[in-house]
Amino acid sequence: MKDALLKTLAGLIFGFLGAALISWIVGESPLFVMKVMFESAFGSVYNFGLSLFYATPLIFTGLSVAIAFHAGLFNIGAEGQLALGALAATCFALWFPSLSPWLGIPLALLFGAIIGGFWGWIAGWLKEKRGSHEVITTIMLNFIAAAIVSWLVTKVYQSPIVQSPETAEISEHYFIQERDPLYQIFDGAPISIALLFAIGLAIGVWVLLFKTKLGFEIRALGKSESTAEVSGISSSKVRQIAMFLAGACASFVSFAEIIGSAGKYRLGFSPEYGFMGIAVALLARNNPIGILFSAFLFGALHKGAADLDIETEFVTRDLSLVIQSLILIAVAIAIEWKKGRRA
Amino acid sequence: MIALAFFISIIRMATPLVFASLGGMFSERSGVINIALEGIMLFGAFTAAFVSLSMGKELGFVAGGLGGMSLALIYGLIVIHGRANQIVAGTAINLLAMGLIPLFLKSLYDSTGGTPSLSMDQRFSNLPILFMIIALAGAWFVMKKTSFGLNVSVAGENPEALDAAGISVILVRYQSLAVCGLLAGFGGASLSLFLASGYTRNMVAGRGFMALAALIFGKWKPVPTFLACILFGAFEAVQIRLQGAEGIPPEFLQILPYLATVLVLAGFVGKAVAPKVIGIPWKR
């Protein structure tokens, strides 16, 4: 445990040092860049609320990547799963505008989860039946999902009253911002009870993975397919279930984005939450509780970098991608470090 | 005449894919999975456009290869010496390319979207097709007829034997990654200097992964892999040709190459046998 924390810390330090170096190379004071990022992420109640707002979807996508990873699968498809899942939840809200919130919101989330889960399941099924590598399949499914969503939003559900590509607004039964207890606290930052749901989901996924038979089977499959098969686990079934659950987790981004803040599906709302989920999950070593913390860190990083575009001359928000990748690299090396020495 | 034009358009669209998948072949045959192809191509596309703008297209094309090679060698350092999980590290390299390039663009051109457009004489009309055919013949020759090619396959199938023969597995893998980066970088260069005129944000658009799919479909062999790239190139050419046709939403045409990749991977990969120790770091 202490060892794992040290490695994580080493990864973080490496990531930020690398970012400082790159800032310096492009001609900006590293200290100033770090100061802008820190203030942008934590400088006010509103900014802190926005960091939490960005952290919420990352909890969902981090959990999505982690579940698949525990089953020995690499889910790069959270981006497509969340896009289709979130649009499905939006559609449900548009189809049944007058359901009571207590019925409508859970059903919309459930419908989104089924569609997002289905999109994840495709990759698991293809891997199982045809041996297709899930990394390539999920990437391709991301592009396909993006095109389907783009068509549905602009051609079928396009809001008639605005120019930008977005759906009509969902009814007040679904769009709960005005009544949201968390929204009142953060000075107007678009944070919502989706954060509480995300925390609950993380705990639920932890229980599922470490305290249930299915979770045991998922982890056994991830450790060794042959051993899992010998102990009577159907790797085929478990793999497909794991990918379905991964897609379902990603789809809950709809709670934070559609139901919690925007009230509609805006095309391109996700700043690659799906890809960021990979870094979130890895930094937490795929532990659902750890994901809560790493999602917060990457949420703050994303928010912090957002102000770089205006505050600095040469550094842009893309610096957060660089930091993420450096953290990923350092942690991936650190994980193997000791193993190498022992062998 | 129309048929000929269409055929050329297929070859054009296939060119970056062929470069990238031949590069991927060297990496994967030597035992290193290369999800990072996407980012390596992206970096190659950027360096090629950057150099072409100031020093001409020939040097630009070379710079694309060298840019790809440098990123591939960084990837090598992470997975060969660092022994990091190759899929995680590959994803990280892709993120790194996506993040670094806009930072460079911003300080070079004060825009994060791309380089300025290339003029007619800063880009190629058809020459990269010839380069691609030379690369294909070269890759085939190296893999089939040279001792280096043999070393590459043995590094991916039976590294202990290579080690026992006194040849460094690690060195062979670095060399393979250097070749891989060079070729995938040329693939990126043929995007920014040939198919498009300049670098635009995330212009590789999944082609690195398509190249991997072509590689798997081609069973990690040069000529079948080339044919798989031609197949994907055909889907892209059809997609472009049908754009603007009445009644078909452009979004549905755009997904054609991606859908084809999924279907090809699902339909034919069952019997593909990957190099034996692919993904496993070498430890003596």
Encode pLDDT of B163-205 as tens digits: 999 999 999 999 999 999 999 999 999 999 999 999 999 999 9
Minimum distance, in Å, between the CA of residue B174 and any CA atom of chain A: 17
Interface of A with B in 4-33 (CB under 8 A): 22, 26-27
CA of B249: which chain A residue's CA is closest?
A151
How far apart CA A301 and CA A158 sit, in angstroms, is 32
Contact A140 B258 (CB under 8 A): yes
Contact A147 B35 (CB under 8 A): no
Q: Is the pLDDT of residue A282 over 80?
A: yes
CA of A316: which chain B residue's CA is closest?
B103
Nearest to A332 among B89, B216, B265 (CB): B89
**What contacts A294, CB < 8 A, 6 or more positions away?**
A62, A279, A280, A281, A283, A284
Per the structure, how many domains does chain A have? 1
User: Looking at residue A271, what DSSP letter applies?
Assistant: S
Contact A140 B216 (CB under 8 A): no
Report the percent of chain B where pLDDT is more than 70. 98
pLDDT (0 to 100) of residue B118:
94
| DSSP code string of A113-146 | HHHHHHHHHHHHHHHHHH---HHHHHHHHHHHHH
pLDDT (0 to 100) of residue A227:
85
How far apart CA A180 and CA A332 sit, in angstroms, is 39
Q: Is the pLDDT of residue B270 over 80?
A: no
**What contacts A283, CB < 8 A, 6 or more positions away?**
A8, A11, A290, A294, A297, A298, A327, A328, A331
Q: Which domains does chain B have, with CATH numbers?
A: 2-271 (1.10.3470.10)
- Domain with A232 in it: what CATH number? 1.10.3470
Encode pLDDT of A67-116 as tens digits: 999 999 999 999 999 999 999 999 999 999 999 999 999 999 999 999 99
Lowest mean pLDDT among A30-39, B116-125, B242-251: B242-251
Encode pLDDT of B140-158 as tens digits: 999 999 999 999 999 999 9
* pLDDT-derived band at A343, boundaries 50, 70, 90: very low
pLDDT mean over B109-114: 89
Lowest mean pLDDT among B25-29, B105-109, B221-225, B241-245: B241-245
Determine contact, residues A316/A309, Cβ cutoff 8 Å: yes
A177: containing domain: 2-342
Strand partners, B200: B114
pLDDT (0 to 100) of residue B190:
97
Report the percent of chain A where pLDDT is more than 90. 78
Token pair in block for residue A191: 């944070």
Report the percent of chain A where pLDDT is more than 70. 98
pLDDT (0 to 100) of residue A187:
86
Encode pLDDT of A120-143 as tens digits: 999 999 998 888 889 999 999 999
pLDDT (0 to 100) of residue A338:
66
- Would you mind telling me the total number of residues written for chain A in this entry? 343
Determine contact, residues A258/A306, Cβ cutoff 8 Å: no
Determine contact, residues A286/A215, Cβ cutoff 8 Å: no
Report the percent of chain B where pLDDT is more than 90. 78
Contact A143 B205 (CB under 8 A): yes
Q: Is the pLDDT of residue A27 over 90?
A: no
Reference B150, options B164, B141, B72, B81; nearest CA is B141
- A341 burial level (CB within 10 Å; 0-12, 13-18, 19+): exposed
Contact B269 A131 (CB under 8 A): yes
Q: Is the pLDDT of residue B62 over 80?
A: yes
Lowest mean pLDDT among A259-268, A334-343, B206-215: A334-343
Query: How many other β-carbons are positioned within 10 Å of the β-carbon of residue A216?
Result: 16
Lowest mean pLDDT among A5-9, A269-273, B105-109: A5-9
How far apart CA A41 and CA B274 sit, in angstroms, is 45
Minimum distance, in Å, between the CA of residue B146 and any CA atom of chain A: 31
Q: Which residues of A touch B112 (CB under 8 A)?
A: 316, 318
How far apart CA B190 and CA B194 sit, in angstroms, is 5
Minimum distance, in Å, between the CA of residue B62 and any CA atom of chain A: 24
pLDDT (0 to 100) of residue B193:
97
Q: Which residues of B touch A332 (CB under 8 A)?
A: 78, 82, 84-85, 88-89, 92
How far apart CA A172 and CA A93 sit, in angstroms, is 10
ipTM (interface predicted TM): 0.92
Reference B225, options B42, B4, B13, B14; nearest CA is B14
Provide φ and ψ at B93, rounded to 5°: -65, -40
How far apart CA A16 and CA B28 sit, in angstroms, is 32
Contact B281 A336 (CB under 8 A): yes
pLDDT (0 to 100) of residue B272:
63
Lowest mean pLDDT among A24-28, A252-256, A288-292, B230-234: A24-28
Q: Is the pLDDT of residue A52 over 90?
A: yes
Q: How far is CA A252 from CA A206, A247, B37, B77, B204, in A?
A: 17, 9, 31, 37, 29
Whether A123 has its CB under 8 Å from any CB of chain B: the answer is: no
CA atoms within 13 A on the CB side of B274: 18
Q: Which residues of A103-122 are buried (b: 16+ CB within 10 A; e: fewer)?
A: ebbeebbebbbbbbbbbbbb
Q: Is the pLDDT of residue A342 over 50?
A: no
Token pair in block for residue B211: 């190249």
Q: Which residues of B touch A343 (CB under 8 A)?
A: 283
Whether A325 has its CB under 8 Å from any CB of chain B: the answer is: yes
Q: Which residues of A touch B258 (CB under 8 A)?
A: 140-141, 143-144, 147
Contact B84 A336 (CB under 8 A): yes
Contact B84 A333 (CB under 8 A): yes
The full 3-state SS of chain B, as one line of letters, equals CHHHHHHHHHHHHHHHHHHHHHHHHHHHHCCCCCCCHHHHHHHHHHHHHHHHHHHCHHHHHHHHHHHHHHHHHHHHHHHHHCCCCHHHHHHHHHHHHHHHHHHHHHHHHCCCCECCCCCHHHCCCCHHHHHHHHHHHHHHHHHHHCHHHHHHHHHHHCHHHHHHCCCCHHHHHHHHHHHHHHHHHHHHHHHHHHHCCCCECCCCCCHHHHHHHHHHHCCCCHHHHHHHHHHHHHHHHHHHHHCCCCCCCHHHHHCHHHHHHHHHHHHHHHHCCCCCCCCCCCCC
Triad B114, B117, B123: Cα angle to 5°: 115
Whether A333 has its CB under 8 Å from any CB of chain B: the answer is: yes
- B112 burial level (CB within 10 Å; 0-12, 13-18, 19+): middle
Residue A241 three-state SS: helix
Encode pLDDT of B202-235 as tens digits: 999 999 999 999 998 898 999 999 999 999 999 9
Determine contact, residues B125/B197, Cβ cutoff 8 Å: no
Whether A326 has its CB under 8 Å from any CB of chain B: the answer is: yes
Reference A105, options A196, A205, A194, A200; nearest CA is A194
Determine contact, residues A233/A221, Cβ cutoff 8 Å: yes
Minimum distance, in Å, between the CA of residue A162 and any CA atom of chain B: 21
Residue A167 three-state SS: strand
Round the average pLDDT of chain A to a whole number and report it.
93
Round the average pLDDT of chain B to a whole number and report it.
93
Determine contact, residues A193/A260, Cβ cutoff 8 Å: yes
Minimum distance, in Å, between the CA of residue A337 and any CA atom of chain B: 7
pLDDT (0 to 100) of residue A178:
85
Whether A135 has its CB under 8 Å from any CB of chain B: the answer is: yes
pLDDT (0 to 100) of residue A314:
87
Minimum distance, in Å, between the CA of residue A177 and any CA atom of chain B: 33
Q: Which amino acid is at B37?
A: L
Q: Which residues of A245-276 are buried (b: 16+ CB within 10 A; e: fewer)?
A: bbbbbbbbbbbbbbbbbbbbbbbebbebbbbb
